[in-house]
A and B are shown apart, each in its own frame.
Chain A
């Protein structure tokens, strides 16, 4: 079965530091990839997604992610984090047709002001 692995469970950064959250998946075929964010007490919101084309995807709030097919990775990046980026971040991969997503375990990001 397909799996999604997020290597960092909890990341603590100071404001203005750069961020990179790792995500690897196991499926060898064509994939659609997503990053979702969950702010404290809120529901999940889409940050960005990759379906095809340019492997460098830009999302909301200055986030971007790079799809590297050879490494089965879809890492999330932001050059300069803000306190308001404190949240939990989930990587997800679709499993074939029908919209089913497989989620990683999540990475909790804490940004110190």
Chain B
């Protein structure tokens, strides 16, 4: 029962580089989400997806790109990393439905941008 996995778990990169964080879930959940966790801000939604090929912006989408060609995968790309994007990134999934359902979180990716 793999659940939801993220890779890499830790990443150090330099300003201006492109970085892709991977998220994979085995439950066939329709909804997937990307959050960033920063001290004093809790979790903030970056992007989410209601189904394959359907994505939408969250609270803090600038500087990020997502895609969802398959239900189980939801990669997050930082097109040109900046120091302000140093954070812990969590992917989550849920069954969705008419009202919000329980979200299940991955282990997180700690990203440092130098």
Query: For chain B residues 42-56, which have a beta carbon within 8 Å of chain A?
Result: 42-45, 48, 50
Chain A residues lying within 8 Å of B104, measured Cβ to Cβ, are: 46
Give the number of A-B contacts (CB < 8 Å).
64
Separation of A56 and B61 alpha carbons in the complex (Å): 36
* Beta-carbon contact of A51 and B99 below 8 Å: yes
Q: Which of B31, B43, B48, B100 contacts A103 (CB 8 A)?
A: B43
Separation of A49 and B105 alpha carbons in the complex (Å): 15
Q: Which of B44, B50, B98, B107 contacts A42 (CB 8 A)?
A: B107
Chain B residues lying within 8 Å of A102, measured Cβ to Cβ, are: 45
**Nearest CB of chain A from residue B48's CB, rounded to whole Å:** 6
**Nearest CB of chain A from residue B61's CB, rounded to whole Å:** 13
* Beta-carbon contact of A97 and B98 below 8 Å: yes
| Cβ-based interface call for B79 (8 A) | no
Q: Which of A42, A44, A99, A106 contacts B31 (CB 8 A)?
A: A99
B 1-39 to A, binary, CB cutoff 8 A, 1 in contact else 0? 000000000000000000000000000000101010000
**Nearest CB of chain B from residue A58's CB, rounded to whole Å:** 15
Chain B residues lying within 8 Å of A45, measured Cβ to Cβ, are: 105
B 86-114 to A, binary, CB cutoff 8 A, 1 in contact else 0? 00001010101111111111111000000
Chain B residues lying within 8 Å of A42, measured Cβ to Cβ, are: 107
Q: Which of B90, B94, B106 contacts A99 (CB 8 A)?
A: B94
**Nearest CB of chain B from residue A6's CB, rounded to whole Å:** 8
Chain A residues lying within 8 Å of B97, measured Cβ to Cβ, are: 99
Q: A90-B42, A90-B43, A101-B100 are in contact. List 12 more A-B contacts (CB 8 A).
A: A32-B99, A44-B90, A49-B102, A51-B99, A94-B99, A97-B99, A98-B96, A99-B50, A103-B43, A105-B40, A105-B41, A106-B43
A-B residue pairs, 9 tightest by C-beta: A94-B100, A44-B105, A103-B43, A105-B42, A103-B42, A43-B105, A99-B100, A99-B31, A99-B96
